[in-house]
C-alpha cells in the first residue's frame, strides 16, 4: 500500500513476529491493562499515554491518543520518543533468535516446544505499576485481577481519555496510594485483605526508598533487590520474582508458582516438594536455581516461553512463520473521544517510519479458549492458584477473564 493512499495516524518500527507476538505477550498475565478492542488492535496505557498497537509486514505499528479536553497538558512526545518507549517496554534490544538457539541447544524439551512459540519476550514495566498489579494477584484469577486494577486506576489515577466508551486512567502514584484513607476505599472497591497490602506497601516504599530510590533497584544485584522487595507487606517470593523479572531487569529471576512447579515435575523430572500441596520457599529457591543452571542468565525469559506454551488457550496457536503480506487490511477501530497525537512525524531508516496506513493487517491466528477450575492458597503468600472464571469457548480473540497467565495458572 502506497503512503499517499491512506490517512496519517500510525507510526511503525521494524519488528518481525519472530521477535514479538503481541497476541501472546500482552495476553499471558505479565501485564493487565491491555485490551483487544478489535481483532489485532491492542489498546492500553504505557508511560502515561494511551496507545493502540498492531503488527503487520514485519513491523510494530502504534497509534498515540491525546488526552481529553481539560484532562491535562497536551503531550509533546514525538515519533522518536514514542519509539524509544516501545523499544524499552518490549526490550527490543534483546535478540530472541540467539536466545532461543542457546536455550534449545541446552534443553531438548525447550527446543521441541518453542518452535510454535517464537516472539515471547518479557516486558520491562514500571516498577511501581508492576509491584502493585501483582499485589492484586494473590488468590485471584485474571478477570478479577484486571477489574481490580482498573478500579484502582479509576479511583486514584488521573483520567487520560476514553476509547469506545471505556475510560483510560494513568496508574496511581505512590503518593496517591499511600493516603490515610486508601485502605478503607480499596476495601469498599472489593480488594479485601489486599487493600492493606497496597496501602502499607506504598507507605513503606515512600518511607524506605522514595519513588526514585525504588526505581534504582534496577541497578542492584538480583538477590539484594529480591530481598528488599520481600520486606514489603504482602510481597512473597513469587511476587518479588515477578517484579524482578518484569520491571527490574533481573532476567535470571524465575517466578515459581504451581504452574511452573507442575512443568518442572512433568517435563524435567524435578520432584522437589512432591509431598507438599503448595510451593514452599525451598521449592521456589531450588527450582529457580535448577532453571538458571539449565538456561543461563536469561532463565526468566526461557521460563516465560514454556509458561506461555503450556497455557490452554495458546496450545493451538500455530507458528508465526506465515507472512501477512497480501492479507486484507481491515478498517481502523471505531472513532474515539481521544484525539490523535499531532506530534508524530516521519522518522526515516531503522528508527521507524510514520506510515499513512490506517490499520495494518496482522494475520492473527485463531485462538480457542478453555475453561478451568480454581484452588486457593493462604492470603499474602504471593502465589496464585486460581484459574479463570468459566466462560464459553470463543474464537479469534483473547478474552479478558478467560486467559490464565503469570497471574492465573491453569492446573
pLDDT band at 274 (very low <50, low <70, confident <90, very high): low
Considering only CA atoms, which of 411, 181, 167, 168 is closest in space to residue 310? Answer: 411
User: How many distinct structural domains can be found in the chain?
Assistant: 1
Determine the pLDDT at residue 78: 63
Determine the pLDDT at residue 4: 40
pLDDT band at 273 (very low <50, low <70, confident <90, very high): low
339 in any annotated domain = no
The string of DSSP codes covering 224-251 is: HHHHHHTTSTT--HHHHHHHHHHHS--T
115 in any annotated domain = no
Rounded Cα distance, 128 and 252, in Å: 20
Chain segment 228-267, per-residue pLDDT in tens: 999 999 999 999 999 999 999 999 999 998 889 889 999 9
Determine the pLDDT at residue 158: 96
Question: Mean pLDDT: which of 29-38, 120-129, 259-268, 282-291 is highest?
Answer: 120-129
What is the percentage of the chain residues whose pLDDT exceeds 70? 70
Cell numbers describing residue 274: 512432591
Question: Residue 345 pLDDT > 50, yes or no?
Answer: no
Considering only CA atoms, which of 328, 332, 391 is closest in space to residue 362? Answer: 328
pLDDT band at 382 (very low <50, low <70, confident <90, very high): very low
143 in any annotated domain = yes
Considering only CA atoms, which of 236, 276, 275, 274 is closest in space to residue 256? Answer: 236
Chain segment 95-134, per-residue pLDDT in tens: 999 999 999 999 999 999 998 899 999 999 999 999 999 9
pLDDT band at 364 (very low <50, low <70, confident <90, very high): very low
Distances 401 to 146, 149, 166, 256, 372 between C-alpha atoms, Å: 8, 13, 17, 22, 11
Task: Using the structure block, give the residue that is written with the C-alpha cell 509458561.
Answer: 307
Cell numbers describing residue 118: 517464537
195 in any annotated domain = yes
370 in any annotated domain = no
7 in any annotated domain = no
Given 238, 250, 312, 368, the catalytic residue: 238
Radius of gyration of the chain (CA): 21
- Which residue intervals of 164-236 are DSSP H helices? 174-177, 182-188, 194-208, 210-215, 222-229
Question: Residue 147 pLDDT > 80, yes or no?
Answer: yes
pLDDT band at 338 (very low <50, low <70, confident <90, very high): low
pTM value is: 0.77
CA atoms within 13 A on the CB side of 158: 14
Determine the pLDDT at residue 407: 54
196 in any annotated domain = yes
Considering only CA atoms, which of 325, 284, 389 is closest in space to residue 59? Answer: 325
Domain that holds residue 231: 127-261
Considering only CA atoms, which of 407, 327, 408 is closest in space to residue 365? Answer: 327
Determine the pLDDT at residue 323: 33
Q: Is 238 a catalytic residue?
A: yes
Determine the pLDDT at residue 399: 39
Question: Residue 297 pLDDT > 90, yes or no?
Answer: yes
Average pLDDT of span 386-396? 35
CATH number of the domain to which 212 belongs: 1.10.340.30
204 in any annotated domain = yes
Amino acid at each position: 500500500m502506497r503512503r499517499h493512499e491512506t490517512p496519517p495516524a500510525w507510526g511503525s518500527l521494524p519488528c518481525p513476529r519472530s521477535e514479538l507476538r503481541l497476541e501472546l505477550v500482552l495476553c499471558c498475565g505479565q501485564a493487565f491493562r491491555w485490551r483487544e478492542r478489535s481483532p489485532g488492535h491492542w489498546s492500553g496505557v504505557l508511560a502515561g499515554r494511551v496507545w493502540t498497537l498492531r503488527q503487520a509486514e514485519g513491523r510494530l505499528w502504534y497509534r498515540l491518543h491525546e488526552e481529553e479536553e481539560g484532562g491535562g497538558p497536551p503531550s509533546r512526545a514525538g515519533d522518536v520518543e514514542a519509539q524509544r518507549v516501545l523499544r524499552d517496554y518490549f526490550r527490543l534490544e534483546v535478540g530472541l533468535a540467539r536466545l532461543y538457539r542457546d536455550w534449545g541447544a541446552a534443553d531438548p524439551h525447550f527446543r521441541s516446544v518453542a518452535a510454535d512459540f517464537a516472539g515471547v519476550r518479557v516486558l520491562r514495566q514500571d516498577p511501581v505499576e508492576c509491584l502493585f498489579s501483582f499485589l492484586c494477584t494473590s488468590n485471584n484469577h485474571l478477570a478479577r485481577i484486571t477489574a481490580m486494577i482498573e478500579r484502582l486506576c479509576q479511583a486514584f489515577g488521573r483520567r487520560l481519555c476514553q476509547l469506545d466508551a471505556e475510560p483510560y486512567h494513568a496508574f496511581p502514584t505512590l503518593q496517591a496510594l499511600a493516603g490515610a484513607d486508601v485502605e478503607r476505599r480499596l476495601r469498599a472497591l472489593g480488594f479485601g485483605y489486599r487493600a492493606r497490602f497496597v496501602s502499607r506497601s506504598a507507605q513503606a516504599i515512600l518511607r524506605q526508598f522514595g519513588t526514585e530510590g525504588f526505581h534504582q533497584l534496577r541497578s542492584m544485584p538480583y538477590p539484594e533487590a529480591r530481598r528488599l522487595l520481600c520486606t514489603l507487606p504482602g510481597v512473597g517470593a513469587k511476587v518479588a520474582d515477578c517484579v524482578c523479572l518484569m520491571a527490574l531487569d533481573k532476567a535470571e529471576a524465575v517466578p515459581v508458582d504451581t504452574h511452573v512447579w507442575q512443568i518442572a515435575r512433568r517435563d524435567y523430572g524435578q520432584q522437589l516438594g512432591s509431598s507438599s500441596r503448595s510451593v514452599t520457599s525451598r521449592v521456589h529457591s531450588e527450582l529457580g536455581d535448577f532453571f538458571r543452571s539449565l538456561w543461563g542468565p536469561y532463565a526468566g525469559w526461557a521460563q516465560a516461553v514454556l509458561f506461555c506454551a503450556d497455557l490452554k488457550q495458546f496450545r493451538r496457536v500455530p507458528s508465526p512463520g506465515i507472512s501477512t503480506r497480501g492479507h486484507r487490511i481491515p478498517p481502523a477501530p471505531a472513532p474515539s473521544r481521544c484525539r490523535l497525537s499531532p506530534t508524530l512525524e516521519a522518522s526515516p531508516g531503522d528508527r521507524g517510519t510514520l506510515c499513512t496506513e490506517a490499520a495494518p493487517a496482522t494475520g492473527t491466528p485463531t485462538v480457542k479458549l478453555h475453561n478451568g477450575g480454581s484452588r486457593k492458597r493462604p492470603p499474602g503468600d504471593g502465589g496464585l492458584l486460581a484459574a479463570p472464571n468459566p466462560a464459553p469457548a470463543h474464537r479469534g480473540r483473547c478474552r479478558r477473564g478467560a486467559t490464565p497467565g503469570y497471574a492465573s495458572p491453569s492446573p
